[in-house]
Each structure stands twice: as C-alpha cells, then as structure tokens.
Structure 1
Amino acid sequence: MKILHTSDWHLGQSVMGKSRLDEHRLFINWLSATVVEQGIEAVVLAGDVFDTSTPPSYARELYHDCVVQLNKLDCQFIVVAGNHDSVSVLNESKNLLAKLKAYVVTQPAWDNASDAVLELKNQDGTLAALVCAIPFLRARDMVRYEMGQSGADKQLQLAEQIKRYYQQQFDYAKSISADVPIIGTGHLTMVGGEKTESVRDIYVGSLEALSPSLLPEFDYLALGHIHKPMPVAGNSNWRYSGSPIPMSFDEANSPKSVCIYDTATRVAERLAIPVFRPLKSLKGERNELLKQIEQLDEPQDLAIWLDITVNEDINLGPFQEKLAQLCEGRNMEIVKVQRTRKAAGLFDGDGETATLEDINPTEVFDRLLLEKEIEPSRANVLKQLFTKIVNEQEQPS
C-alpha cells in the first residue's frame, strides 16, 4: 500500500486580505490526480486543516469536497487536528465523514486507544498498516498543573505525558499486529525543525520543541506544523511534509511537496507539488524596482503576487500609482508596498516623507518635540508625561 502524507493546508487563509481559495482548489484537484497516478490507497493529513478555529464556509465546503473526491477514488482519508483547528468544528462532521472512509481524530484517546489506532487495509481486505492518529496535544488535555510549579517542572511534566501517550498508542498498535508498519502522526515542533513567519509557536511557555528520543520507533512518522519539508533526527521516515502552498512570502522559495510511504518497501519519497501561484518579494530603490517588475515573466494561470519593499524614503502614494500602471493588463498583482525602517528617515529630515505606519506613538512625539525645538529640560518632562498617558491608554479597562 502507498500512503500519502500531507499537512498544514490552512484552508481559508488569506494574504493581505486576498483569499487563497483558488490555490487550495487547484491543490485538491492535483491531490486527487496524484492519488490516481501514484496508486495511493490512503491519505494522512497531519493537522491544520483550516487556518483559523472559525473557518469561512467556502473553506469547509472545499474540505468536504476533498473528502468526496477521495471517497470516489476508494482512497481512505485520515485527518488529525492541528493547533489552528477547532475541535468542535472538525467534530461536527466527523461521524458523517466516517461513512465516506474519512476518519477524523481531534483529541487524545486516553481511555480507549482503539478510537485513535486505525487499520489501513488493502483492496483484498488484508491489513497493510496501523496508524496511531495523534492530533495536536493541547496542554489542558494532557496535564493538570499544580499551584507553585516552576516553568521547568511544567515543561518536564508535559513532555513526560506526551511521551506516555505516544507510547500507549504505539503499544496498542503492536498488540494488534507486530508484522505490519506502524505509522504515527503528530502536529508539533520537534527539536531541529525550522520555522517560518506563518508558523505560530505551540506549547508556548511550557514546551516549544519535543525531543525525537521521547517517541517510540514508528516505521513512519507523519508530522505537521512546520511548513518546510524535512526529515527529523536524520531519519528519512520521520518527516514533515510541509504545507502544500507557501503560507507567507518568506516561504515562496521553499519547495512544496507531499511524502509517499510504501508499506511494502518501508521507504518514503517526496513528490513535488506544482506552484499554483508564484509569490515574489522584491527589494530595492524605486527605479530598480520598476525595472525588476517590468522584466518579470508572467505566469500562465493565477496571477503572480508581489511584495515590494522600497529602500528609499519616498512618498508611497505616487509610487504606488506608477506600480499600478506598470502592472495594468499584466497577470500580476501587488499585495503589499512598504519602506524599510532604515529608509523611513524619521529624524534626519532628508527623506520625502514618513507615515504613521513607520513609527510608534512615542517616536511621533519625539519628532514633534524636535520640530518645535523644545528646550531639552522641558522636553524631558513632556516625554515623561506623554509616556505615562500612553501606558495608561494601553492598560486594559
């Protein structure tokens, strides 16, 4: 049996107010085609189905459409919740999706391991693999902290409970069969994983990364949460599949892929995902940027999205008008234009302008004092009073 491992779909995500629906729809279609071309019999989604705990209706619709597509292809689908996912949202359709060979696990099954250890069977009905479907393990579901515990004690307690739960699931799978591969899942940060702008820390304040040595010897470990595809602890069968599309501009140059694990050879391979929409960050002075944009190749399908950073203190309004004229009639959109902090020229007076987006309230007040040429001793008193007002405004009522 071939099992496809993917993660971090983040359905419903947007960039600067622009929906990723078209990209996600193309990915789901590509996934279905890949199931057919590669002879995939099971897909494992290792967390973060949705981008938020309250996904828009179109994101839920796409998720359910994917379930239907995979069911038509007679492909089993295992979904575990990630830290972005709402347990209640995934649970609301869980029983219905089970009728379509889609099995959703949202919480640890402490009392009944059979609820989260799933059997994957070949077309002839023989057992091909066992999956310990382990979702993102929220601290509140794992431990009960006591008053006065230190941060180090809480970290140790949580790590031990995660280790205990993984071992419980693994041991139960072994009791079913020791002859077939045992696959684990997880949505967490393992020691050595690289994070990007769009990856939010989990277990904040208690446990930021788990040591691979705490987990049992799974034949394959399907991980989610890190958006870059990579192995863990030098083990090519313990992997982050990465997100299917770049979630932020800093992921634009990171290759996107899924992993395919073969239960017969017990070997995993990566399969590249096409780029559905190019994201590109450009930096430089205004004339240089205009030239770079003019020379860009236009994609055939979805428009390229551009993130522009200007290394000059200029008035962005007229420059944005030039950018709009340059992109008119071309298959590209500018989603963000900003200046580097250094280029804002807040205090030297040499720049064309500085906007409130570039500076905080205290810096605005400091600049006002300079412009009004307030004498130093009085300026210090005024700054202290202003700081007090700002602090009072920032305090919750």
Structure 2
Amino acid sequence: MKILHTSDWHLGQTFMGKSRLFEHKKLVSWLVEYVAKNGISVVLLAGDVFDTSTPPSYARELYHELALRLAKIRCGLIVIAGNHDSVSVLNESKGLLAHIDVQVITQPSWVSSNDALIYLKDDNGKTCATVCAIPFLRAQDMVAREAGQTDRQKKEQLESSIQDYYQRLYDMAKQEAPDLPIIGTGHLTMIGGEKTDAMRDIYVGTLDALSPSVLPPFDYLALGHIHKPMRVGRNDHWRYSGSPFPMSFDELASQKSVSIYDTELNSVELETIPVFRVLKRLQGSRDSLLQQIDELDHTQEATAWLELTIEEDINLGMFQEQIAERLVNRPFEVLKIQRLKTVVQYRRTDGETATLDDLSPTDVFSQLLAEKDIEPSHAAALSALFDTYAVEQDEDSV
C-alpha cells in the first residue's frame, strides 16, 4: 500500500492581499491525477488544511472537492487538524465525509481509541497498516493549569502529556496488530525543524519544540507545520512533507514535494510538485533592479509575483513609478518593495522613513513614544504594557 503524505495547504490564504485560489485548484487537479496514475491508496493531510479559523466559502468548497474527487478514484483521505484549523469548521462535515472514506481527526481521543486508530485496508480488504491519527494538540486539551506554575513547569507538564498521549496510542496499535506498520501523525515543531516567515509559533510561552526522543518508534511519522520538506534528524521515515508551494518569499529555496510511504517495501520516496505560480526575489541597487526587471522572462499561465529589495536609501515612491512603467502589459506583479534593513533608519532629517514592512509592532510603538516625548518612567511602563498585550495577541492567533 502506498500512502501520500502532504500538509500545510492553507486553503483560503491571501499572499500579500492576493488570492491563492488559482494555485490551490491546480494543486487539487495535479494531486488527483498523480494518485490515479501511481496507485496511491491513501492521502494523509497532516494539518493546516485552512489558513484561518474562518476560511472563506471557496476554500471550504475546494476542500470538499478534493475529498469527492479522491473518493471517485477509490482513494482514502485522512485529515488531521493543524494549529491554523478550526475544530468546529472541520467537524461540520466530518460525519458526512466519513461516508466516502474520509477520516477527519480534530481533537485528542481520551476515552476511546476508535477515533484515533485508523486501520488501512487494500482493495482486497486486507489490513496493511495502522495510523495513530494525532492532530495539533492544543495546550488546553492536554493539561490542566495550576496557579503559580513557572514557564518551565508548564513546558515540562505539556511535553509529558504529549509524550504520554503518543505512547498510549502507539501501545494500543501495537497490541491490536503487532505485525502491521504503525504510522504516526502530528502537527508540531520537532527539534531540528526550520521555521519560515509564514509560520506561527505554537505552544507560545510553554513549548517551542518537541524532542524526537520522546516519541515512540513509528514506522513512519507524517508531520505538518514546518513548510520545508525535510526529515527529522537522520530518520528518513520521520518527515515533514512541507507546504505544496511557497507560503512566503523566504520559502523559495526549498523544492516543494509530497512524501510517498510504501508499507510493503517500508520505503519513502519524494515526488516534486510542479510550480503553479512563479515567485521571484530580486535584490540590488536601483539601476541593477531595473535592469533585472527588464531581463525577466515568463511563459507560465499565472502572473509571476515579485519581491524587490533595494540596497540604496532612495525615494521608494519614484522608484515604484519607474518599475510600473517597465511592467506595463507584462505578466509580472510586484507585491513587495523594501529597503535592505542595514540602510533603514526610522526617521531621517531629509524626510525619508522606513515602511511598515521594515518595522515590528514594538518598533512602531517605541517610535510613537519618542515622538510624543513621554516621560521616561511613563514610557517604560507603557512599553511593558504594550509587550504584554503583544504576547497575548500572539497567543490568541495560534
């Protein structure tokens, strides 16, 4: 049996204000065609199905289209919730999708293993593998907070609870079918994972990353949350599949792929995902960037998106006008222009200022306090309050 592992689709994402619907439609069509041609029995989507907890209607429609098209070619689908996903949104169609061989796992199963252990069968009805289907484990679902706990105690308590849950399901799977491969899932950061700009930290303030040593010896571990395809440590069978296409400009260096796990051969292969939309980063002086733009070539269906970094402290407004003139009737769109951070100053005597993209919220607040000439003691107190509020906002966003 072949299992295709993918993750972090982020349906409904807007990329700097631009919809990714075109890429996601192309992705669904490519995936279904690949599954049909290569004898894939199950697709495992390891979290972050949607980009937000309130996905737009077209994103939900595309999710259901994926499920229906896979069902038509008799391919199963296992979906686990990620930190971006709303449990209630995924649960809305969970019962209905179960009738077409789609298993949706949104929360830990404490009372019974029925919702957490999935037995995969081939076309002849033979059971080929057991999946310990584990979604993103939210702290509030795993531990009961106690007054007066330190951050270290909270971290240790959460890590211990996650470890116990994984071990419990693994032991159940081993007891029920000791000779079958056991596949684990997860949506979290393992030590050694590389984060990108498009990813939010999870377990804010308590657990930044989990050590691979705390998990049981799964034959394959299908992970989500890290957008770069990579293995965990030196274990080729524990993998992040990565996102299907770049979710931010800083993900351009990694080639996007899906992982294929063969239960019979106990082997893992990577399949490269086609590029559905070109994203490019250009950097240099004003004259160099203008020349690079003039030399751009593009033949794909979708408009290419550009990020420009200029190495001079110039008037960006006039520069943007020059770029716009060069891109008239050409299949390119500039989504971001920024100065190289080493030449950025918050405020200059000649009136040049940094853009908001160059500054963090704390930078902006500090600049505001300076402009208002707030008394130092009051400014320190306000900064502390602002930092507290910013942390709370980060926690609410995960």
Q: Equivalences for 1:32-43 in 2 at 5 Å?
A: 32-43=32-43
Contact between 1:314 and 1:352, CA under 8 Å: does it hold in 2? no
Q: How far is 1:320 from its partner?
A: 1.0
Q: How far is 1:328 from its partner?
A: 1.3
Does 1:383 pair with 2:383? no
Cross-structure match for 1:373: none
Identity across the alignment (%): 55
> 1: distance between equivalents of 2:311 and 2:5?
41
> 1: distance between equivalents of 2:249 and 2:277?
12
| 1:356–1:9 Cα change, 3 Å | closer
| 1:219–1:311 Cα change, 3 Å | same
Q: Equivalences for 1:321-340 in 2 at 5 Å?
A: 321-340=321-340
| 1:346–1:201 Cα change, 3 Å | closer
Cross-structure match for 1:107: 107
> 2: distance between equivalents of 1:355 and 1:183?
49
SS at match of 1:36: helix
With normalisation by structure 2, the TM-score equals 0.90
Contact between 1:362 and 1:387, CA under 8 Å: does it hold in 2? no
SS at match of 1:113: coil
Q: CA RMSD in A?
A: 2.2
Q: How far is 1:299 from its partner?
A: 3.4
What are the ranges of 5 or more consecutive residues in structure 1 without an aligned counterpart? 369-381
Q: How far is 1:384 from its partner?
A: 4.0
**Amino acid of the residue matched to residue 353 of structure 2?**
A
| 1:327–1:220 Cα change, 3 Å | same
Q: Equivalences for 1:273-284 in 2 at 5 Å?
A: 273-284=273-284
**Amino acid of the residue matched to residue 186 of structure 1?**
G
> 2: distance between equivalents of 1:199 and 1:298?
29
Output one character per residue of 1:70-101: Cα deviation in whole Å (capped at 9) or x when no partner. Answer: 00110000000000000000000000011111
Based on CA coordinates, which of the two structures has the bigger radius of gyration? 1
Q: Equivalences for 1:224-303 in 2 at 5 Å?
A: 224-303=224-303
| 1:356–1:98 Cα change, 3 Å | closer
> 2: distance between equivalents of 1:356 and 1:128?
56
Output one character per residue of 1:256-285: Cα deviation in whole Å (capped at 9) or x when no partner. Answer: 000000011011111111111111111211
What are the ranges of 5 or more consecutive residues in structure 2 without an aligned counterpart? 390-398
Contact between 1:315 and 1:352, CA under 8 Å: does it hold in 2? no
Contact between 2:346 and 2:354, CA under 8 Å: does it hold in 1? no
With normalisation by structure 1, the TM-score equals 0.91
**Amino acid of the residue matched to residue 114 of structure 2?**
S
Q: How far is 1:185 from its partner?
A: 0.3
> 1: distance between equivalents of 2:203 and 2:62?
29
| 1:348–1:148 Cα change, 3 Å | closer
| 1:388–1:224 Cα change, 3 Å | same
Cross-structure match for 1:371: none
Cross-structure match for 2:320: 320
**Amino acid of the residue matched to residue 16 of structure 2?**
M
**Amino acid of the residue matched to residue 146 of structure 1?**
E
Contact between 2:188 and 2:225, CA under 8 Å: does it hold in 1? yes
Cross-structure match for 1:84: 84
Cross-structure match for 2:18: 18
Output one character per residue of 1:123-153: Cα deviation in whole Å (capped at 9) or x when no partner. Answer: 0000011111000001111110211122222
